[in-house]
Each structure stands twice: as structure tokens, then as C-alpha cells.
A and B are shown apart, each in its own frame.
Chain A
Amino acid sequence: MSLERFLSQVVPVRQKLYRFAYRLLGNEEDAQDITQDALMKVWDMQEKMAELQNTEAWCMRITRNLALDKLKSRKYRRHDDLDHAGEVAASHQSNPYTVSEQNDVMSKVHATINALPEKYKTILQLRDIDGHSYQEIAEILDLEMNDVKVNLHRARKAVREKLQNLQVYGI
């Protein structure tokens, strides 16, 4: 792979890789590190790129593996809640009560999704936030398309149960 190819195919995906890493790690600095490492790895394995059909999915897979390694290696602790504890989102809505209630609900949904097993969570995020097709998700996660569908279904079901609890009991 030439530098040109790297610039035209890999560098534009960087933003996506960064978002992906950020979702997995929940921390901007680590996400930047992992994205950088992933790009380095892609550069090192450039001769493999010629055989690939979907460079983007391949890059995302590398990013995911690196991020999961990092999560595993140091008994990684997510500290997004602490890091962002001081930040209060600026809002121009008139009623602070509604705003804080809304934030509260959002953080509960966030926690619900983050509490899912990693595979469910990633599939749900890739599909419902990033809008990837089943085929793309299958390539990124190196799974069968059917597995993706089944896991997505289970993930949504798990979220739905949690949301119902939230709705009915407020927990």
C-alpha cells in the first residue's frame, strides 16, 4: 500500500475509528491513543490491505481488538462519570426541572446500554447510533450476519426490559 492509498482510504476513517474507540473505552485520551495505535498497526500491515474488500471494517476490527486488549490488560476502570461530573451541559430550555429530569433519564439509558455485555453493546451502538448495516457489523466484528441479527435482537430485548422497569418502577 502506498502512502496515497493510506491517505485516501484509512485517514478519512480516522474520525469513525475514534468514535468507535471512544464508545468502547469511554475516555477521550485513551480513545485517541487507541486510534493512533490502530492506524500504526494498519500501516504496519499494509501488504494485507490489497486482499481486503472492506478496509473500513478491517480498521474498525483492529481498533476494537486494541481497545478490548486495553480494557482487559489493566483492569481498566471507566471513569467517565467522575471525569465529567463537573460538567453541566449548557441548555437554553426554560425549565431546569425538566432539563435535569431529562439528563437523569439519559444517563440511566446510557448506564443501561453500558451495562450490557460488550458484544451486545457494540452491536447495538454500531447499528442504532452509527447506522451500520448488518453486513458491515458482521465484517467489523468478524461474525456471521445471522449472529449479528440474533445478538442485536437480544440486546434490544435486554434494553427494553430495563426500560420497562425504568418506566414502571423508576429503577
Chain B
Amino acid sequence: MEYKVISELLEKYWEGETSLEEEATLREFFSSSHANLPPELLEAAPLFQYLHIESEKQLSWPEEETKAPAAKVVKLSPFRHWMKYAAILLMAVGIGYTFQHRGERQATGDFAYQSDLDNPKNALEETKKALKLLAKNLNKGTNQMQKISYFNEATEMIEGKN
């Protein structure tokens, strides 16, 4: 009796006129084995078994299985790494101190010298001093040259005598 119903459904199936429910019925019917199937059912059995297996097959997206558990959030106390902050502070103070002092030194040294030259009187004094120094050294040189010229005169006189 049941075979007849299935047989009719199967005929409808081959004609492409079955509904989704009827197709599910067919798959369900063929998923278990039956004895003494009439030939028209026997020929369709492998197809429906295959369809049944395929529709039951679980193909899962791999990442969903191996999803890492969400990382636990650990709240850090801001004073936990106090040594870091202390070191940064110390370095900042050190660098600041260095810069400040270098600035001061430059201000007292270079700036004072600069201001001396800005004044024309002072500039004149400085130039005079420099020129005096130059003249003094030059005179040293000419004194030596004078000695050489005496020597020259002496040699000339001797040559003249000869």
C-alpha cells in the first residue's frame, strides 16, 4: 500500500511536479532500507539515499569551531609601573637642567662679547688693541730684519773693498 503512494510520488518527482514536502517524504522513505522494493522504486533508491546523506552532511565553517576565547581584560593600576614614570621624570629633569644651563652660559659669554662690539667706542678700542698687538709683533720682525740688513751692509763693504 505504502509502495503505491511512494510510487506515485516518485512519478510526480520525475516529472518535476512534487512539492518540497513530498520530496522530503521521498527522502525520508528511502533513508531506511525496505525489503522487496518494486523495480521503479529500487532504481530511485540510490539517488534519494544520496540526497538524504548530502542534506544531512554538516559542513561547518572552520573558524567557528576554533574561535579563540575572548581575551580577558586586566585592569592595570596606573601606579603599577611607578619606576617607569620615575625614570621618565628623572630624564626629563636632567635634560631640562642641561639645556637651561647651556643657555645661561651662552647668554653670559657670547652675549656680553656681542654687546661690547655693538658699541662703536668699544669696537674702536678693541680694534686699536688688536692693531697694537699686530704692530708689536711686526716690530719684533722688523728688528730681526734690521740685523740682517746690517749684515748685508757689512758684506757689501767687504766686497766693495775687494
Contact = CB atoms under 8 A, between A and B. Distances in A.
B61 A15 contact: yes
A169 to B, nearest CB: 12
Contacts of B104: none
A106 interface: yes
A166 B46 contact: yes
A159 B45 CA distance: 12
B19 to A, nearest CB: 9
A118 B147 CA distance: 120
B14 A133 contact: no
B16 A152 contact: yes
Given A15-B61, A133-B20, A152-B16, A164 B43 contact: yes
Interface string B26-59: 0100000000000100111011011101110001
Nearest to B44: A163
Interface stretch (A41-49, A55-63, A123-131): A123-131
A22 interface: yes
Nearest to A21: B59
A129 B54 contact: yes
Given A108-B46, A128-B51, A166-B46, A14 B20 contact: no
Contact of B55 (A106, A109, A130): A130
Interface string A96-121: 00000000011011100100000000
Nearest to B60: A15
A164 B27 CA distance: 18
A153 B42 contact: no
Contacts of B51: 128-129
A18 B59 contact: yes
B59 A22 contact: yes
Q: How would you classify the secondary structure of chain A's contact residues: helix, strand, loop or mixed? A: helix
Question: Interface residues of B toward A: which range?
Answer: 20 to 34
Contacts of A109: 46-47, 49-50
Contact of B49 (A106, A129, A149): A106
Contacts of A32: 61-62
B34 to A, nearest CB: 15
Given A15-B61, A19-B59, A131-B24, A163 B46 contact: yes
Interface of A: 14-15, 18-19, 22, 28, 32, 35, 105-106, 108-110, 113, 125, 127-131, 133, 149-150, 152-153, 156-157, 159-160, 163-164, 166-167
Interface of B: 13-16, 20, 23-24, 27, 39, 42-44, 46-47, 49-51, 53-55, 59-62
Query: What are the 3 tightest A-B residue pairs by CB atom distance, in nearest-first order?
Result: A153-B16, A109-B50, A167-B43
Given A15-B61, A128-B51, 16 more contacts: A14-B61, A15-B59, A18-B61, A35-B61, A105-B46, A106-B46, A106-B49, A106-B53, A110-B50, A128-B23, A131-B55, A156-B13, A156-B14, A156-B16, A163-B47, A164-B43
